Amino acid sequence: MSAPRTVLLTGAAGTLGTLLRSGLPRYGHELRLFDVRPVEGEPDAITADLSDRAALRDAVRGVDAVLHLAGISLEAPFESVVRANIEGTYNVYEAAREEGVSRVVFASSNHAVGFTPAPRGTDPLIPADTPHRPDTFYGLSKAFGEDLAQLYWDKHGLETVSVRIGACRPEPADVRMLSVWLSPADCLRLFHAALTAEDVGHTVVHGSSANTRAWWDLSSARALGYEPRDDSEPYAKKLVAEQGEPDPDNPAHTHLGGTFLTDPPIWPY
Ligand code: NAI
Ligand code: 15L
């Protein structure tokens, strides 16, 4: 599939939505924006909730792909997670199926597999087909989204790339992020690859930069054409000096999901 492609970007007002809506047009993608909140500087953005199936169906009509970011991005009460992330993601897939959209790119998370122990020493990197081990209701909703994607591929031929994002921010903020950091520039490269690779079926990929201290295997992402260029290592000396090396007796230091295992950040609204 070659760019430009028309893409519905859900969650366009959020952190990654803001990055992707400014960066993806440079890769040739034409974006239609969707969020429950107004998108600053974008008067044509669709302001609607994921529970509004009519609005979603109108929004996906005629697009080549949906890049689905919208939802609760931290831990929250079970009922809230069900409504936004489980029912909301189902509504996105139903709208895409009904309107004949051929590709979804789903923003999954490392928290779908957060209870997976991080590799130590010579342990192999964690492959993308590692079993789901969610660390929160939030992570559980991402595991659901990946399984929903598999169902819609097997049953309806609707393709998905599920991107298990590590932590995307300008710089890694703690020693764990040295292993799971996704730089903003690599984030754009990865989502462009996920939108344009041929014949993906349902592919699960780990989303991080080429970190020296990587915990997970990027081979399924590289198979889409993703070529990460950044590495968190230049930030390591300062972060380790401030915070120390990871404590092998602290589960938040020794598992993929970090503090989400023990003290998850809570969705603010
Ligand atoms: P964010 O919280 O900044 O943005 C989420 C957006 O979704 C917000 O603009 C919010 O208004 C919108 N939204 C929430 N509920 C909605 C609903 N019911 N209907 C319509 N819109 C709704 O999150 P961020 O950081 O931009 O993440 C985007 C996606 O990527 C999320 O799905 C998140 O779980 C996932 N992700 C992000 C990571 C990161 O490092 N930023 C790491 C792993 C996963
Ligand atoms: C996520 O899934 C969150 O959406 C993001 O805000 C980060 O906290 C990230 O995981 C992480 O694991 O650091």
**Domains (range + CATH), the chain:** 6-260 (3.40.50.720)
Is the pTM higher than 0.75? The answer reads: yes
Q: Is the separation of the CB atoms in 174 and 188 below 8 Å? A: no
- For residue 167, the surrounding DSSP H or E stretch is strand 167-168
**CB under 8 Å to 195, separation ≥6 — which residues?**
1, 3, 5, 7, 29, 65, 67, 103, 105
Helices (H), 24-132: 53-60, 78-81, 88-98
Residue nearest atom 7 in ligand 2 by C-alpha distance:
167
Sign of CA dihedral 256, 24, 33, 101: negative
**Peptide bond before residue 119 is cis, with ω within 30 degrees of 0:** no
Tell me which residues of the chain have a pLDDT lower than 70.
1-4, 269
Residue pLDDT, tens place only, 122-179: 999 999 999 999 999 999 999 999 999 999 999 999 999 999 999 999 999 999 999 9
- Distance (Å, rounded) from C-alpha 134 to C-alpha 114? 5
Q: Which residue bears the tokens 């509004």?
A: 52
Helices (H), the chain: 15-23, 53-60, 78-81, 88-98, 137-156, 177-180, 184-196, 219-223, 236-243, 251-254
**73 CB under 6 A from ligand 2?**
yes
**228 CB under 6 A from ligand 1?**
no
Residue nearest atom 25 in ligand 1 by C-alpha distance:
15
Active-site annotation holds for 269? no
Residue pLDDT, tens place only, 105-133: 999 999 999 999 999 989 999 999 999 99
Radius of gyration of the chain (CA): 18
